[in-house]
Amino acid sequence: MPSSPELSRVRRRLALALLLATAPLGAETTFYQDRIGPILERHCVVCHGPEKQKAGLRLDSFAWVMKGAESGAMVLPGNAAGSELHRRITLPATDEEVMPSEGKPLLSREEIRNVELWILGGASATKLVAEFPGAPAIGRPKAAAVALAPDWRPRADEIRRLEAELGVRLVPRSQQPGDGLILRTAGSPRRADDAALARLDPVAELIVEAELARTPVTDAGLAAVGRWTNLRSLDLSRAKVSGSGIAALAGLSRLEALNLTDSAVDAGGIERARALPALRRLWAFGAPGMAAAEARP
């Protein structure tokens, strides 16, 4: 089994491949989305965003940027030199008013130039990258995150309803909506039975991690799990599943981690699990299949 650094390398390569496959290479992306948004996100949103609004200023969307601070507009379209936002990012590091404040790393020359060209070009939300041929490339420290699942937010009402009805929890894995949901059952594992799982079809492709340890889930319930096509990690420790149930997971082409500890999965089931195309980590401590494998000379 590959070690985790290897796995993350694989992931990174995969991420890059997806990025190359889907990025329209500037043809369709707006300059704001491609350059300005990420610059502000990286340097400013910690203090000027949803959690903190220093000086009453938010910089986490085009609309907020143009709305300005308590004291007024920070960006004057066409007039970089007169824009307070531009002034703040071009001050010397020693200046009290320089942004980002608190001694955080300043913007690179390329980043500043992008902001400048954007303001000079009318501070537009819609102009495309192609319309700024003179804009220097900016370093991108991290590859853009690959969405693991569709955005769950439009289905928030449904999610809430399912949580209430089934007694399970469907929590976002992170504040990135593309990171999908965790199906969480630790608080009342007994309620997560086969019938409950079958009712999760409406959010099937949003579930990226499923924590089903200590639940009464049986092979019948795995039929539903087999439809969660974006599942990356599945914990069935101490669930009532057996070897034949694993067959229902065959379609989970993205499943990377499967925990069968103390389940009833036999050697055949473990073979089936090993055949999952993306699986990198498998645990079966205490399962009959593992004991059989260990007994073999």
Partner 1 sequence: MHSPENPFARDPHLCSDHAGEGPSIWSLPGLPDALRREWLALETRRHFLGRGMQAFGWAGLASLLGRPLAAQTAASPAVLAPHYAPRAKRAIYLFMAGSPSQFETWDHKPVLQRMFDQDLPESVRGGQVLTGMTASQARFPIAPSVYKFAQHGQAGHWVSELFPHTARIADELCVLKSLHTEAINHEPAILQLTTGNMFPGRPSLGSWLSYGLGAVNDELPTFVVMTSKMPHRTNVQALSNRLWSSGFLSPEHAAVALRSAGDPVLHLNNPPGVSGDVRRAMIDGVNALNRQLFERVGDAETNARIAQYEMAFRMQSSVPELADLSSEPQSTWDLYGEKAKEPGTYAYNCLMARRLAERGVRFTQIFLRSWDQHSNLPRNIKLMAEESDQPTAALVTDLKRRGLLDDTLVVWGGEFGRTCYSQGVLTAENYGRDHHPRCFSMWMAGGGVKPGLSFGETDDFSYNIVKDPVHIRDLHATMLHLFGLDHNRLSFRFQGLDQRLTGVLPAKVIDAILA
Contacts with partner 1, residue ranges (CB under 8 A): 3-5, 8, 46, 50-53, 103, 153, 156, 159-160, 163-164, 169-177, 179, 184, 186-188, 211, 213-214, 235, 237, 257, 259, 261-262, 281, 283, 285-286
DSSP string, 214-252: T----HHHHHHHTT-TT--EEE-TT-S-BGGGGGGGTT-
Residue 85, binding choice from ligand HEC, partner 1, none, Cβ under 5 to 8 Å by partner class: ligand HEC
Q: Which is nearer to partner 1, 24 or 187 (CB)?
A: 187
Decide which of ligand HEC, partner 1, none touches 218; Cβ closer than 5 to 8 Å per partner kind.
none
Task: Give least dist CB 215 to partner 1, A.
Answer: 13
* CA-wise closest residue to 60 among 172, 178, 175, 206: 175
Closest separation in Å from C-beta 187 to partner 1: 4
Closest contact distance (angstroms) between CB of 103 and ligand HEC is 9
CA-CA-CA-CA dihedral for 38, 39, 41, 44, to nearest 10: -170
If the CB atoms of residues 109 and 160 are measured against partner 1, the closer one turns out to be 160
CA distance 263 to 237: 6
Q: Tell me, letter by letter, the H, E, C secondary structure of 84-132.
A: HHHHHHHCCCCCCCCCCCCCCCCCCHHHHHHHHHHHHCCCCCCCEHHHC
170 binds, among partner 1, ligand HEC, none (CB under 5 to 8 A by kind): partner 1
Instruction: Note whether 195 and 189 are within 8 A (CB).
Output: no
Nearer CB in complex with ligand HEC: 119/276 = 119
Q: Of residues 32, 49, 74, 269, which one binds ligand HEC by CB under 6 A?
A: 74
Residue 97 in the binding site for ligand HEC (CB under 6 A): yes
Asked if 112 is part of the footprint of ligand HEC (rule: CB under 6 A), the reply reads no
d(CA 152, CA 209): 14
Instruction: Verify binding: residue 101, ligand HEC, rule CB under 6 A.
Output: yes
Of 184 and 227, the one with the shorter C-beta distance to partner 1 is: 184
Q: How far apart are CA 169 and CA 186, in angstroms?
A: 9
Q: Which residues contact 170 (CB under 8 A, 6 or more apart)?
A: 159, 162, 163, 181, 182, 183, 184, 203, 206, 207
CA dist., res. 104 & res. 91, Å (int) = 13
Least Å distance, CB 24 to partner 1, is 25
Q: How far apart are CA 168 and CA 186, in angstroms?
A: 9
In the complex, what is the shortest distance from the CB of residue 213 to ligand HEC, in angstroms, rounded to a whole number?
41
Measured from the CB atom, the residue of 99 and 241 that comes closer to ligand HEC is 99
Q: Which is nearer to partner 1, 50 or 122 (CB)?
A: 50
Give the separation between CA 48 and CA 61, rounded to whole angstroms: 11
x/- binding map, residues 32-51, to ligand HEC, per CB under 6 A? -----------xx-xxx---
Q: How far is the CB of 165 from partner 1 (least distance, A)?
A: 11
Q: What is the rounded CA–CA span in Å between residue 269 and residue 84?
A: 64
Contacts to ligand HEC by CB under 6 A: 43-44, 46-48, 54-55, 57, 69-71, 74, 84-85, 88-89, 97, 99-102, 104, 107
